[in-house]
């Protein structure tokens, strides 16, 4: 399992990688400016000064992260200061070399896109206003000195190369977002699976996998409300494994647990699709036979379960093991409470036991 230290180390490597990417991007922009200097559009001093200031500042941030000094700061990612300094450098050189104003403004937009990686709504609003104000100051300071690139094949090729590199930087940002979306999608799948598992554990018996008493009683209350509205009958059957204490005493509790699980599997395979089966408590189980099920039909359905249990090969769990069940069936009466319905099924179950067990009695 990944520890907090492992996660922090991984995050630190990511921070360093992104900062080194900034160093590379600034260096490439310096090369573009150098190519324009070679083409005679600007002086060479603009290119090497931009490289020293731009790449140098990014390298300084990379060194801070590499030495772990950023971990002492409130914002260990240093994203805000890196973006702010990069934007200021771009706008400064817009004033110094206004003929390349398009390059520097586009670079500001590309740099601003890196804010999408972690800025909050408030930070985005603040950054938008500050960048807008700073760019206005820079453009006003450079007024009257703006020019445009030459139309020679070389100048056009350099402009295309700059555009191509900007698209590459935006692709890197898009790749990061794609990776985050993939991770988020995977986390959502894991969360959904965990929630389904939690819901299953909350509604099902841990040993047998059958519905537990709480979820069954909710189903029963819902069915009672439906029957009251529609005026349709439904039934419940209370099932009890005969002499289960003897099974535990003779074969042990592990075999007893195996019997409970096997009993649920046999019962679940014998009931109708519309029926619901639950562990009511201990070796007692409950069947909800609905909708529109009369007591006669419910008895037939319950008998089918009883006969399946009686005929099942229990020897494969323990030699000499025999399992039967007794059942009490009750049909819902108008305006009857759930508790009264269950009480009548329980009385029918005890009548089945008093009559010799391994049988179904209808209340």
Residues in the chain: 363
Candidates 303, 316, 293; CA nearest to 352 is 303
The Cα–Cα gap between 113 and 184 comes to: 20
Beta partners for 239? 285, 327
Structure tokens at 163: 């555009």
Neighbouring residues of 30: CB distance < 8 A, sequence distance ≥ 6: 47, 48, 50, 51, 54, 55
Q: Single out the catalytic residue among 41, 223, 262, 283.
A: 283
The reply to whether 8 belongs to the active site is no
Q: What are the b/e assignments for 184-203, b being 16+ CB within 10 Å? A: eeeeeeeeeeeeeeeeeeee
CA-to-CA separations, 80 to 11, 17, 51, 75, 83, in angstroms, rounded = 17, 16, 21, 8, 5
The Cα–Cα gap between 360 and 308 comes to: 13
Catalytic residues: 283
């Amino acid at each position: 399992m990944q520890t907090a230290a492992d996660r922090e180390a991984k995050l630190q490597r990511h921070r360093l990688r992104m900062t080194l990417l900034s160093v590379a991007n600034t260096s490439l922009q310096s090369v573009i400016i150098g190519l324009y200097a070679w083409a005679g559009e600007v002086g060479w001093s603009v290119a090497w000064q931009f490289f020293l200031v731009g790449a140098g500042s990014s390298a300084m941030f990379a060194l801070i992260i590499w030495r772990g000094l950023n971990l002492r700061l409130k914002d260990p990612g240093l994203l805000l200061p890196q973006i702010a300094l990069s934007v200021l450098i771009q706008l400064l050189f817009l004033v110094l070399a206004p003929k390349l104003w398009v390059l520097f403004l586009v670079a500001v937009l590309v740099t601003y896109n890196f804010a999408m990686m972690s800025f909050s709504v408030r930070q985005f609003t603040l950054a938008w206003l500050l960048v807008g104000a700073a760019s206005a100051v820079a453009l006003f300071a450079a007024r009257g000195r703006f020019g445009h690139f030459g139309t020679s094949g070389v100048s056009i090729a350099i402009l295309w190369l700059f555009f191509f590199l900007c698209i590459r930087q935006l692709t890197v940002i898009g790749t990061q977002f794609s990776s985050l979306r993939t991770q988020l999608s995977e986390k959502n799948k894991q969360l959904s699976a965990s929630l389904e598992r939690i819901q299953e554990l909350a509604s099902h018996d841990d040993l047998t996998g059958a519905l537990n008493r709480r979820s069954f009683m909710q189903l029963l209350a819902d069915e009672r409300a439906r029957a009251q509205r529609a005026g349709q009958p439904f039934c419940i059957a209370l099932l009890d494994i005969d002499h289960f204490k003897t099974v535990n005493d003779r074969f042990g509790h592990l075999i007893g647990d195996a019997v409970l699980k096997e009993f649920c599997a046999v019962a679940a395979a014998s009931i109708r699709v519309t029926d619901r089966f639950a562990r009511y408590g201990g070796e007692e189980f409950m069947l909800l036979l609905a909708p529109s099920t009369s007591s006669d039909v419910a008895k037939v359905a319950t008998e089918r379960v009883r006969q399946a249990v009686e005929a099942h090969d229990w020897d494969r769990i323990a030699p000499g093991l025999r399992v039967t069940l007794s059942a009490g069936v009750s049909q819902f009466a108008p305006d009857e409470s759930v508790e009264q319905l269950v009480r009548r099924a329980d009385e029918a179950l005890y009548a089945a036991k008093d009559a010799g067990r391994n049988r179904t009695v209808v209340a």
